[in-house]
């Protein structure tokens, strides 16, 4: 029997999404982790508590919650907290993201979160759950089809930009 580490090879190129961990149990676990993280959110200004759970290629789940600041530009979203936590712990490939808020309908990641996530997995599957269990599913590529990337960038966003440039030049 294969172990989780064998299933998700660490040799996936930077920016490529890890093979998805399919199945309702994985989705339920991610949503439950995001729900728990939302309870730790610090949202005294918007009162919009958000939790996120990012599944890494090696099977670890990284949770994050939004943290607001009275200087609104310093506020950070749950999705980026989860991403930065994962990167700080050595993860670079991801296979799914769950977002949960008890305070609104299902939310899509903001533009800054979309760009940050695209650096690592341009086609990340996203599950978003809101009030009363309402749910939406997205692919990051659908939400951010024109991700910014430096020319020659080896990340997922860079490869998407290179393909876009080739289409536009007719190559």
Indicate the Cα dihedral angle 1, 121, 97, 125, nearest 10°. -80
- Asked if residue 8 has pLDDT above 90, the reply is no
Burial class of residue 72 in the structure, from the number of CB atoms within 10 Å of its CB (0-12 exposed, 13-18 middle, 19+ buried):
exposed
Q: Is 79 a catalytic residue?
A: yes
Q: In terms of pLDDT, which residue wins out, 12 or 18?
A: 18
Residue 48 tokens read as 């919009």
- Asked if residue 157 has pLDDT above 80, the reply is no
Give the residue extent of every domain in the chain.
4-145
Q: In terms of pLDDT, which residue wins out, 69 or 25?
A: 69
Considering the entire predicted model, what is its pTM? 0.81
Residue 168 tokens read as 């536009």
* Per-residue confidence (pLDDT) for residue 20, from 0 to 100: 62
* Per-residue confidence (pLDDT) for residue 53, from 0 to 100: 98
Domain 4-145, CATH class in plain words: alpha beta
| Beta-carbon-side half-sphere exposure of residue 81 (alpha carbons within 13 Å) | 23
Confidence grade of residue 112 (pLDDT, cut at 50, 70, 90) = very high
Options 16, 68, 79, 91, the catalytic residue? 79
Rg of the chain, C-alpha, whole Å: 16
Whose CA is closest to 161, among 146, 139, 140, 171?
146
Q: In terms of pLDDT, which residue wins out, 163 or 52?
A: 52
Residue 36 tokens read as 């728990």
């Amino acid at each position: 029997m294969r172990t989780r580490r064998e299933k998700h090879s660490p040799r996936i190129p930077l920016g490529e999404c890890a093979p998805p961990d399919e199945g309702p149990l994985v989705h339920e676990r991610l949503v439950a982790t995001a729900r728990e993280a939302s309870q730790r959110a610090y949202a005294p200004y918007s009162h919009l508590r958000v939790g996120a759970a990012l599944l890494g290629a090696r099977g670890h789940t990284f949770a994050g919650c939004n943290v607001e600041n009275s200087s609104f530009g310093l506020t950070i979203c749950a999705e980026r907290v989860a991403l930065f936590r994962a990167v700080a712990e050595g993860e670079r490939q991801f296979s799914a993201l769950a977002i949960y808020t008890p305070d609104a309908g299902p939310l899509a990641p903001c533009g800054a979160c979309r760009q940050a996530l695209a650096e690592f997995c341009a086609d990340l599957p996203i599950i978003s759950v809101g009030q009363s269990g309402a749910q939406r599913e997205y692919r990051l590529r659908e939400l951010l089809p024109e991700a910014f990337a430096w020319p020659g960038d080896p990340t997922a966003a860079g490869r998407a930009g290179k393909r876009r440039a080739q289409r536009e030049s007719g190559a």
